[in-house]
Chain A
Amino acid sequence: MNGAAPAQRQGAPLLEVRGLSKSFGAVCALQDMQLAGHEGRIHAVMGENGAGKSTLMKLLSGVHRPDTGTIRLRGRDVAFDQPRDAQKAGISTVFQEFSLLANLSVAENLFLGRERDRTHRLSRAEIRRHTARALAALDLQIDPDIRVGALSVGEQQMVEIAKGVLADASVFIFDEPTAALASHEVEILFALIRRLASQGKVIFYISHRLSEVFTLCDDITILKDGRFVTCVDTATTTVDAVIQGMVGRPIEELFEPRTGLFGPVLLRADVLAGDASPHPVSLELREGEIVGIAGLEGQGQQALMRLLAGFQPALAGSLTLGADRIEAASARARMAKGIGFVPESRKDDGLFLSLDISANMASAELARRPLLSWVPHMGAQIDAVMHQLGVKAPDAWTRVIDLSGGNQQKVVLGRWLHAGASVLLCEEPTRGVDVGAKREIYRQLRSFAAQGRSILVTSRELPELIGLCDRLLVIRSGRIVAEMAAEIATEDALLRAALPSFESDAA
């Protein structure tokens, strides 16, 4: 399914980076970095958050200028003063935030700043024709006249790539391109990237997701703390080895040992159904237990979590927390009774970015108090929670926007610790979090459960679910179709249960 076999790593690299260093003030973001991109090969750049991946790519795309070191393109040293220089040299970057203008059509976006040929101004018809040809060359079925704002995120990304193709770029840089994509869009993107590679382009692919890197990429360069660790051929390495390179420790140590000690049932859903999740769902969470929900993307995980949290009203069935029936209670009332909710999208649904850590952590607890009551003194409690979670910040008055993704996630967890939640509904607990912080979050979730509380987790990453949870439920089209103990669960077994038909090949 990989199409043509990848080009061999032979001859001089098209793009070569040597001894590259970059400091921002006193912070050394990148030190003595090396990187080599060969024609026709897809090269992954991996590392924890803050390892220097983004800095490296920004140096390559002309956003920043290196302090020392060289970038060689086709054997010649190049220096970029601004992104435009890098684009002219043939380096096209698809950043997480696209540079497209939502109000213009696809064709207009592609030819923005290029409306002139050498001799004349291109007519609308010509622009349309060129656009249609460029899109066809990439096998994209996108109408050149459609407004970019009307396209899905995935399609916009395709247009962004088409822009690079039109500019005749020879190096393509992708910075976490799948972060906002649905799974079928990821497939299309991968096909497109492979097509670019088969045309002899150099591809750099930045991602956190190991599974993607192993399906797509030919080489992996690993960074740690701004330094080059190693460059390996994907075919000759393993997931564990890559993780060890990024973290500096083996993967088994990521997860805490299970306790196996469970109390009585804490949360019980009995044929519970809501608007967005019409199929009745029954499940039980016992004290001390972490239960994971596995499944392909978009199989109703989010609807189920939000039904349990009370953001969607329950239409049928019952929900019991301890001894209380809570299916009729509002989300707010359920939170007051001890349900905590950690949303998948921290920034949109979880955090108050310009507010400090203490306000963010206290918000859930304060929401229960009468509006005109004094804000209690809780500095000591906030400090204790921060210390317990290992939030890396100077103090509780640090703004959340200044924290890394992992620390932000700890603040959301800390909110429910502070509020004394007994059941935690946790969507994608380690999304956009680096491996070091992941380990910390796993440890916190386990110790939360060990205090006689329960956790329900959804995650896209099966190894995470298997390592973190005690018991796994598999969800498919909004129905829970399988249940297994995490100790004996395998990715293969989970995938088989998650796929619509058992005959499907799990790969």
Chain B
Amino acid sequence: MKGKPEVPPRRGLIARFRVDAFWFRQRGAALSFATLTLMVALLGVTVPGTFFSAVNLSNLAAQLAPLFLVSLGQTFVLLGAGFDLSVGAVISLSSAILTLDMADPVKIPIAFAAAAAVGLVNGWGCVHLRVHPIIMTLATSSIVQGFALLLLPTPGGVAPQVLVQMASGTFLGLPVGLYWIIAATAAAIWLVHGTTFGVQLYATGQNPQAAWMTGIKAPRIRVMAYVISSLMAALAGAYLTGRLASGDPNVGSALGLDSVLGAVLGGTLLSGGVGGPIGTVAGVLIIGLMNNGLNLANVSPYYQFVVKGVLLVTAVSLFRRKEAGL
């Protein structure tokens, strides 16, 4: 009498993604991809020789990999209606831990465990202590940055050999950074669009009260988003440490806000439950091409900060309007 007829789950990615209506939640991404296409066309026309050169593209992949990782992590937090300012500090901390004078099999797990702990504290503070996410993660950011500097006061130390190998050079003819990017993006898209966790994350970000009243463990979902973000930051730290072959206690400082910028440029709203990792891919590429283009055009790198600020305001206002149906 009760229960619904069991329908065998259909296999196939397309079927799942349709069910998840993922394009729907990614409507903002269309605008980001259009912008991106325009930027590629612009660079292709103005500096075709240099922009499409193998050197430039592989540099781009190597430079963008960390931003990809943290922006994708940040996307999870934003979808859950949170905000994670501490990712920059977590990158620095993991770089500091990874260059400690310890055996590799010991310090690598420690680095990730430390990051997960930071994520747990962030989530616990925001969800259970009800501290505003910006304040909470600002506080942990300061604490974590302090620990990073205590462990590694000045750049130096020796990176684990395994990371150096994984983060430099090429593999099968392609820059290794590209593999990091593809792996992280695939994992994020799977989590958000393929699993029940993803649907519950959207629901929680939209309306935590309704989510709870529907039987979703909303508090836990929100904490998990912070943990994922921190772990992605630790991965970014691992990549950077490997690439530099040594540690730097300030290596992540610029990436904290950039991670938000990447997600927001891709159409993820700060209000939660709208957007997703596919848009973030476009968002990060926009930042990357912008930096790259300004470099190739011999513009002072300091203008990049100006442009990024302008982009952030533009994106937030544009996507807000789109969401409001204006």
Contacts and interface: CB of A to CB of B under 8 A. Distances in A.
A380 interface: yes
A338 B2 contact: yes
A362 B16 CA distance: 13
A371 B197 contact: yes
Nearest to A373: B196
Contacts, number: 137
Contacts of A373: 195-196
B19 A371 contact: no
A377 interface: yes
A363 B198 contact: no
B221 to A, nearest CB: 8
A289 B215 CA distance: 25
Contacts of A396: 21
A459 to B, nearest CB: 19
Contact of A368 (B195, B198, B202, B215): B215
B213 A355 contact: no
A348 B209 contact: yes
Given A349-B210, A374-B16, A397 B200 contact: no
Contact of B24 (A372, A397, A418): A397
A381 interface: yes
B25 interface: yes
Contacts of A399: 24
A410 to B, nearest CB: 16
A422 B2 contact: yes
Interface string B231-268: 00000000000000000000000000000000000000
Contacts of B210: 343, 348-352
Given A349-B209, A377-B10, A367 B216 contact: yes
Contacts of A6: none
Given A354-B273, A375-B199, A376-B9, A363 B211 contact: yes
A302 B210 CA distance: 16
B31 to A, nearest CB: 17
Contacts of A315: none
Contact of A453 (B2, B196, B323): B2
B209 A355 contact: no
B196 A370 contact: yes
A17 to B, nearest CB: 29
B19 A363 contact: no
B216 A378 contact: no
Given A351-B210, A397-B24, A374 B195 contact: yes
Most A C-beta atoms less than 10 A away, residue of B195, B211, B323 = B195
B214 A415 contact: yes
Given A352-B210, A420-B3, A359 B202 contact: yes
B18 A379 contact: yes
B206 interface: yes
Contacts of A366: 196, 199-200
A363 B216 contact: yes
Interface string B9-42: 1100001101111001100000000000000000
A396 B214 CA distance: 19
B202 A364 contact: no
A343 B198 contact: no
Contacts of A376: 7, 9-10, 19
B217 interface: yes
A359 B4 contact: no
Contacts of B191: 372
Interface string B183-208: 00000000101111111101100110
B284 interface: no
9 contacts: A332-B217, A352-B210, A352-B211, A363-B203, A363-B211, A363-B214, A374-B196, A376-B19, A379-B15
Interface of A: 287, 311, 331-332, 335-336, 338, 341, 343, 348-356, 358-359, 362-364, 366-381, 396-397, 399, 415, 417-418, 420-422, 451-453
Interface of B: 1-4, 7, 9-10, 15-16, 18-21, 24-25, 191, 193-200, 202-203, 206-207, 209-217, 224, 273-274, 323
